[in-house]
Chain A
Amino acid sequence: MPIGAIWQTFLETPLINVMLLLSAISFGSYGLAILVFTAISRALMFPLTIRTLNAARSMQEMQPQLKEIQKKHSDPKRRSQETMKLYKEAGVNPLGCLGPQLIQFPIFIALYQVIRMTLGGTPETMISLSERLYDVEAIQHAVPLSTSFLWLDLQNSGGPFLAVLVGASMWLQQRISTARNIGTQSDQQQSMTKMMQWMMPIMFGWFVLTVPSGLGIYWGFSTIIGILLQWQFVGPGDFTWGSLIPQPVRDSLGIGAPASKFGLQRRDSSSNVSPEPADSAGDTETEQQDASSGNQRTDRRRRRRSRNRSTRSSARSSRRRGDSGG
């Protein structure tokens, strides 16, 4: 079976019918159907997402060991080997976070096709669509779909507001997820991370300007769900809302500067993560308050998880020693 047929039969056609059914259920609103679909797809990917988030948390907890390796070994090859060993020992896959992204990628492309096909501007598209519909009354009656949702025309570009919304949510997600790893990165890696933190939102913001707004809604809502999950299960890292205030505004309000160039450093006295010495410029009471206010919400939960995880890790190590010994 050619790849085009596989794509159509197993992904595109079912997705077309799912979207039309959701539209019928969502009071004929295709925009609402896209939101529902996003929520469902994120729910289906939740096991994978939670695995990724656990990996992220483990990475966060390994920061002191990683730093130690970096201090201990100057040879990059040796350092890399030791780092990989550490990851393996802790059962962490540093590329694990790519899983949900990779799964979302074909869904994103398929949804792009589905939106173009279901909201298709030409009569030929409607004929093509009719060939793809299951013989279910609710699906058959869903066409033609309503193309308007809120202020958007779903088959046209979402315009600057949606682009900014998607870009900002992506930036925030990047910001939360990269901040926790930044401490162990070299200057080159840090600048790369910082560049990516800006490049990805800009790139997706540009995408939103060029593709139907329905796709922008999917991506924006999916990102917001991702942020919420990350916040809930991993915590915001060293991110605080206060760190979003630009430096000139901070100066004028007399708040002071963020603790590091990537934001305020996290103070976590209870976990096995050693407190990072903050830069002198940011070591103020206000920043500490900012940092703690951003993290206190999740600290208790994190401590509990950390204890559980340490217990599990020790048990696993013991088992392995037993295995190798036996």
Chain B
Amino acid sequence: MIDSAVHRYSPQRSSRSVFHVKHRRRIAAFTFALLTALLLVGCGRLAGPEGWAAPIAEGDLIFVQLERGTITAGTLSDSGDLTQRWHFPTQNDDIDLKAIYATPIVDAGVLYLAAFDGSVIAIDTNNGRPLWPATLNVGSHIVATPAFDQNHLYVATENGEIVIVRRDIGTEANRYFDGSGRIWSQPVIVGDTLYLGEFDGRKLAGINLTSGSLVWDQSLDGGVSANLSLASGRIIAGSLDRTLYAYDIARIPTKAWTFNADGWIVANPLPVGNTIYVATLGGSVYAIDSATGREIWKFHQLDSDLQFRSQPALLGGMLVVADSNGGLRGLDPLTGAPRWERDLNDTQLLADPLVHNSRLLFVTRDGQLLLVNPADGSVIRKQDGEA
């Protein structure tokens, strides 16, 4: 075999093989470069937690997450300028909350924060300083907005636990463990029962607040991410199985109706009177009769890739919806007919809006404030630095 190969050796063949070697080297170099580029592309994305806590207000003071893991308090002028009073945490606090998804709770001059890193903190709204002797960490990520009553906060965690925190001193009063995985939706309290929707567990559950025992559960086809809400004596739950569920909770919860939508329901439903407004990641907005579950109207823009993550807002006779890619729309709440549209293509709107002095206040993903006039859709836009 070797002899024959040597015998057939010729300069022409040699030059051809040199060409082949060069050619192969080029292919190898190109392949290597391509793979390196793919490696860089493949490994260089996916941002960490950012948080989409909705802004809230107490009197003239608004509380908003403009930077990741930081709450800023201030007053907002009609021109959209935010006069800052304080922000938390400061550099001296040496706390990294990572991100805030849970909408802060404000009550009687105290702001309660539940942050992604698991911290639960009470802050004096006057000066922005912590009220409890120590920051409580529940030992798991927090995405869900806590439920609360006069004495306690009920903090649902990503471990599937409900941690009961005393509002006066910030200590853990109790901890109920369900263990089915992440809870991302805000629970609701009805009587002595806490109702919650589980994301990983794909179910609704009711826990007796006195004993901590499970009094009811109902499996669903999809996880629950949107906050639970109450309408006409029913629990309303939106799910990733594209279904809106309504359960009567007068005695033993029973299914009242279900409504099939066109996409994941991640945005919090908005019950107003006998109507529930719900927006989906499939790009539709629905008005649903809360008594029957019947569709009253549907808004869907054809040939678009709209996604609605934030809750619709009803103000001044206009239903305002914000899609994830910065589009704002005013819809007639009775018919769903579009009245106006604004596109802010360079930003994302994930947080729920706040009704503030006859305007809607939106916080964009990159920390800008938008004051929207619901009547005509005019927008006042302020950078976080200016605000």
Q: A113-B45, A130-B281 are in contact. Are A86 and B141 (CB under 8 A)?
A: no
- Contact (Cβ within 8 A) B4 A109: no
Cα distance A137–B122 in the bound complex, in angstroms: 43
A125 within 8 A of B: yes
- Contact (Cβ within 8 A) B35 A144: no
- A82 proximity list for chain B (CB < 8 A): 2, 6
Q: A3-B41, A113-B42, A122-B49 are in contact. Are A144 and B1 (CB under 8 A)?
A: no
- Contact (Cβ within 8 A) A85 B9: yes
Contact of A130 among B39, B222, B223, B264 (CB under 8 A): B264
Cα distance A3–B241 in the bound complex, in angstroms: 33
Tell me how far the C-beta of B5 lies from the nearest C-beta in chain A, rounded to whole angstroms.
4
- B281 proximity list for chain A (CB < 8 A): 127, 130
Tell me how far the C-beta of B46 lies from the nearest C-beta in chain A, rounded to whole angstroms.
6
- B46 proximity list for chain A (CB < 8 A): 113, 116-117, 120, 125
A152 within 8 A of B: no
Tell me how far the C-beta of B181 lies from the nearest C-beta in chain A, rounded to whole angstroms.
8
- Contact (Cβ within 8 A) A130 B5: no
Who on chain B is nearest to A317 by CB?
B4
- Contact (Cβ within 8 A) A112 B41: no
Who on chain B is nearest to A120 by CB?
B46
A147 within 8 A of B: yes
CB neighbors of A among B55-114 (8 A): 99, 101
- A121 proximity list for chain B (CB < 8 A): 49, 141
B248 within 8 A of A: no
Who on chain B is nearest to A127 by CB?
B309
**Secondary structure at chain B's binding surface: helix, strand, loop or mixed?**
loop
Tell me how far the C-beta of A315 lies from the nearest C-beta in chain B, rounded to whole angstroms.
13
Contact of B143 among A123, A131, A317 (CB under 8 A): A123
Tell me how far the C-beta of B169 lies from the nearest C-beta in chain A, rounded to whole angstroms.
30
Contact of B35 among A106, A112, A320 (CB under 8 A): A106
Who on chain B is nearest to A111 by CB?
B42
Cα distance A147–B231 in the bound complex, in angstroms: 34
Contact of A112 among B17, B42, B52, B350 (CB under 8 A): B42
B47 within 8 A of A: yes
Q: A82-B2, A120-B46 are in contact. Are A130 and B37 (CB under 8 A)?
A: no
- B225 proximity list for chain A (CB < 8 A): 123, 126
- Contact (Cβ within 8 A) B1 A65: yes
Who on chain B is nearest to A84 by CB?
B17
Cα distance A140–B141 in the bound complex, in angstroms: 25
Q: A85-B2, A127-B350 are in contact. Are A140 and B41 (CB under 8 A)?
A: no
Q: List 24 A-B contacts (CB under 8 A).
A: A68-B2, A86-B1, A88-B5, A89-B5, A90-B1, A102-B31, A105-B35, A109-B43, A122-B50, A123-B225, A124-B47, A126-B225, A127-B281, A131-B307, A140-B240, A140-B241, A141-B240, A143-B264, A144-B182, A144-B199, A147-B181, A147-B200, A313-B1, A320-B8
Other contacts beyond A3-B37, A106-B35, A124-B47: 9, CB < 8 A: A7-B41, A82-B6, A89-B1, A89-B4, A105-B35, A109-B38, A112-B42, A144-B200, A317-B1
